[in-house]
Amino acid sequence: MNIILLSGGSGKRLWPLSNDVRSKQFIKIFKDEDGTYESMVQRMYGKIKKIDKDATVTIATSKSQISAIHNQIGTEVGISVEPCRRDTFPAIALATSYLVDVMGVDPSEPVVVCPVDPYVDDDYFEALKNLSDQAAKGEANLVLMGIEPTYPSEKYGYIIPKTKDNTSDVETFKEKPTVEVAKDYISKGALWNGGVFAYKLSYVLDRAHELIDFTDYQDLFSKYETLEKISFDYAVVEKENKIQVLRFAGEWKDLGTWNTLTEAMTENVVGKGVMNDTCEGVHILNELNVPIIAMGLHDVVISASPEGILVSDKEQSSYIKPYVDGIDQQIMFAEKSWGSYQVMDVEPEAMTIKVILNPGHSMNYHSHKNRDEVWVVLAGTGRTIVDGMEQNIAPGDVITMSAGCRHTVFADTELKLVEVQLGTDISVEDKQKFELE
């Protein structure tokens, strides 16, 4: 089975746990079978591999998310990188070309495209397999998943099937309606359009060549910035007559807001937090190393991270985006392919960061033009290379690097450092990478 997972967006409606670097799909809030917490992307990837261990999974995403993907699910997953945002049709066309030209998948094979971040049960993944199998038959050019609606929602478009069969040709599509119109659609057997569909790779490649002048994946990638911003629905779905829909009646939730996200949580407190018996419908998600106490609250979400603190009525939390847009934010936490970092303190000419490197990983060999750095080893063992000189490091060791000095660090065990950056122009752009000889 071939699957393209669409992983985009900044998830500002889930601030302060999500930001421009860590989108909502990377927040670890779902308890796994072994009691550890996992994110949406980890949950989705793990379930796909459980249903089909040989599945070829490709994540269509931006460059800023690559490190978090590698950190959370490893380097085996395929990644189709969007050089810039160009809506869903260019992203899906690029990922489809990636599968054929880079991964060597036969164009006659089917592929399933779905968002990376819905909350679903195991039967959803069986449905993805059924979707792929139906697309392989070639009875239709597109096969959509139609989700049985549980209420008249204004948030989703609707699919009107021709019959009540489990698999049906599609009569028509309806845009996001009002609640009253949605009730009418549902009474006529309409299904939610959750953005899940399947097709043979050659089909979308043909559509892409009709709209874009390109030869292969590399050519399409190089021209990506010039492409028209256009949705897959508008470019492909609305112009296609041979479309089928498969009904899906299992659990499916779009976890785009704190209100919907907390509905899917199996516990009311993640992190350090307590609430008294008079609290009802309260959820605490705390990434800080300080306790949160809630008393006498109803239907409230409390979320705390190095980015900030949110205390909100759950229904009102859906309207957070313009307030987040108005904040002058600095990224305070990010996951990298080698580990993670958290900004602890910011001064006019200094920044203090806690860095955690995963065992067996290292930073790039690099230098900074405008800042000095001091590393203090808190825990773990490893080694540093500073201007070609290598030394082993252990807790208590201090390593100093002047501006222009080339340096890196390797972790033998999990390695925790405090990094102090000193300079008048501290910037993430001030970094030059080198090959380590």
Domain hosting residue 371, numbered range = 338-434
Q: What is the mean pLDDT of the chain?
A: 91
Q: Are 112 and 198 in contact (CB under 8 A)?
A: yes
Q: Other CB atoms closer than 10 Å to residue 298's CB: what's the count?
A: 11
Asked whether residue 119 falls in the same domain as residue 40, the answer is: yes
pLDDT of residue 10 exceeding 70, the answer is no
Confidence of residue 161 (pLDDT cuts 50, 70, 90): very high
Asked whether residue 81 falls in the same domain as residue 182, the answer is: yes
Is the residue at 58 inside a domain? Answer: yes
When pLDDT is averaged across residues 2-14 and rounded to a whole number, the result is: 84
CA–CA–CA angle 106, 111, 113 (5° rounding): 150
User: Does residue 282 or residue 10 have the better pLDDT?
Assistant: 282
Name 113's Cβ contacts closer than 8 Å, sequence gap at least 6.
3, 4, 6, 92, 95, 195, 196, 197, 198, 199
Is the residue at 260 inside a domain? Answer: no
pLDDT of residue 379 exceeding 90, the answer is yes
Confidence of residue 214 (pLDDT cuts 50, 70, 90): very high
Prediction pTM value = 0.83
CATH number of the domain that residue 391 is part of: 2.60.120.10
Specify the pLDDT at position 430. 92
pLDDT of residue 324 exceeding 90, the answer is no
When pLDDT is averaged across residues 7-27 and rounded to a whole number, the result is: 79
Q: Are 197 and 112 in contact (CB under 8 A)?
A: yes
2-6 and 110-115 as β-strands: parallel, antiparallel, unpaired?
parallel
Is the residue at 333 inside a domain? Answer: no
Asked whether residue 211 falls in the same domain as residue 103, the answer is: yes
The domain boundary, picked from 325, 350, 365, lies at 325
Which DSSP letter does residue 419 get?
E
When pLDDT is averaged across residues 260-270 and rounded to a whole number, the result is: 89
Burial of 356 (0-12, 13-18, 19+ CB in 10 A): buried
Asked whether residue 64 falls in the same domain as residue 190, the answer is: yes
Least confident of 29-43, 53-67, 119-133, 274-288: 29-43
pLDDT of residue 162 exceeding 80, the answer is yes
Give me 405's structure tokens: 């000095």
CATH number of the domain that residue 233 is part of: 3.90.550.10
Query: Tokens 């201090």 correspond to what residue?
Result: 398
Query: Tokens 């000889």 correspond to what residue?
Result: 437
pLDDT of residue 233 exceeding 70, the answer is yes
110-115 and 191-200 as β-strands: parallel, antiparallel, unpaired?
antiparallel
Specify the pLDDT at position 91. 94
Is the residue at 332 inside a domain? Answer: no
Specify the pLDDT at position 270. 92
Q: Other CB atoms closer than 10 Å to residue 215's CB: what's the count?
A: 10
Asked whether residue 17 falls in the same domain as residue 160, the answer is: yes
Specify the pLDDT at position 11. 64
Asked whether residue 344 falls in the same domain as residue 314, the answer is: no
What is the tens place of the pLDDT at every residue in 134-147? Answer: 999 999 999 999 99
Is the residue at 262 inside a domain? Answer: no
Structural domain total, the chain? 3
Task: Report the alpha-carbon distance of residue 41 to residue 59 in Å, rounded.
Answer: 10
Specify the pLDDT at position 282. 97
Tally of CA atoms within 13 A in the half-sphere of 178 that contains its CB: 2
Specify the pLDDT at position 278. 96
Specify the pLDDT at position 9. 67
Phi/psi class of residue 166: alpha, beta or left (left: φ > 0; alpha: ψ in -120 to 50)? alpha
For the chain, the 3-state helix, strand and coil shares in percent, each to the nearest 5, are 25, 35, 40
Confidence of residue 37 (pLDDT cuts 50, 70, 90): confident
